[in-house]
Amino acid sequence: MKYYRIFKWIIAAGLMTATASADEAKTQNEQLYKGKPIKALLITGGCCHDYKFQSKALTMASEAKAPIQWTVVNKGGRGTHAEIDLYNNPDWAKGYDVVVHNECFAKTKNPDYIKKITDAHKKGVPAVVIHCAMHTYRDAKIDDWRDFLGVTSRHHEHQSSYPVTTVKKDHPIMKGVPADWKTPKDELYVILKTAKNMTPLATASSEKNGKAYPVIWINDFHGARVFGTTFGHTNETFSDPVFLDYVTRGILWSAGKLE
């Protein structure tokens, strides 16, 4: 129940601060995006997370911020291996302005299956990739998925509240992120490699060795816009207005509605 109270607060506040008036929130929402509704596909499921909660949190919060029409596909159970039937359709992404990947299938490594996903994005379908999407298809021999993400990660560090450092303050995705923002309890993903066309927007540092890793970024994948964040492990993160705000902005930016 406590999370649904948070949802109501997020919607009432328009993802702004708790002190913002309803009129102020409405004005800022209208300034953020004007136009026809964005058709968004959320693909989720797999290991290690409360995907039912996360899906509800993201769709409710983003709909409060912008005109987004969601289709949610939650398949594959709770294991680390799955091949979702949706991807067997060559036109699986047709009609959507953006696809959000929040799936977690580390042990799936069928190259033909993986290429069914990345080929759609190679044709120009924008994407948002969240948290365990970075470890999805981790065991695959091919790099297609990792090139699509913009990062390579094979493990994460412990959960903590990580201070986030913005490195691209003028980017529209980052304009709503406070300079002193710390995450709710979440995991820090170790980024081993970044793609040539990947641009970090924010970093967080390891509590073990002090090394800074990208935690929010954008990637150009054969002309398709991709926005990514490694945060999103806990329900607390998916209840955090700052996180939900910048992910919503990432959705809008990927869909070409925020410059």
What residues make up the domain containing 41?
A: 36-254
Q: Give bridge partners of residue 212 from the DSSP assignment.
A: 205
Question: How far, in Å, CA of 170 to CA of 140, rounded?
Answer: 36
Predicted TM-score of the model (pTM): 0.89
Q: Is residue 2 part of a domain?
A: no
Reading the block at residue 22, the tokens are 């309803």
Question: How far, in Å, CA of 100 to CA of 60, rounded?
Answer: 15
Q: Is residue 29 part of a domain?
A: no
3-class SS at 249? Answer: helix
The H-or-E segment that residue 32 falls in is helix 22-32
- For residue 32, give Cα distances in angstroms to 14, 98, 168: 11, 17, 19
3-class SS at 254? Answer: helix
Low-confidence ranges of the chain (pLDDT < 70): 1-34
The H-or-E segment that residue 209 falls in is none
pLDDT at 9: 44
Q: What is the pLDDT of residues 204-236, one digit of tens each?
A: 999 999 999 999 999 999 999 999 999 999 999
Reading the block at residue 141, the tokens are 């021999």
Q: Is residue 27 part of a domain?
A: no
Reading the block at residue 85, the tokens are 């039937």
Residue 248 CB-half CA count within 13 A: 32
In sequence order, the 6+-apart residues with CB closer than 8 A to the CB of 196 are: none
Answer whether 176's CB lies under 8 Å from 216's CB.
Answer: no
Q: Is residue 31 part of a domain?
A: no
Answer whether 224's CB lies under 8 Å from 121's CB.
Answer: yes
Reading the block at residue 45, the tokens are 């499921």
Question: How far, in Å, CA of 76 to CA of 107, rounded?
Answer: 12
pLDDT at 78: 78
pLDDT at 79: 79
> Phi first, then psi: what are they for 26, rounded to 5°?
-60, -45
Q: Is residue 112 part of a domain?
A: yes
Beta strands in 75-146 (DSSP E): 98-104, 127-130
Answer whether 202's CB lies under 8 Å from 238's CB.
Answer: no
Overall number of domains in the chain: 1
Q: Is residue 11 part of a domain?
A: no
Q: Is residue 235 part of a domain?
A: yes
Q: What is the pLDDT of residues 61-90, one digit of tens each?
A: 999 999 999 999 998 777 789 999 999 999
Q: Is residue 58 part of a domain?
A: yes
Question: How far, in Å, CA of 57 to CA of 44, rounded?
Answer: 13
Q: What is the CATH number of the domain that holds 151?
A: 3.40.50.880
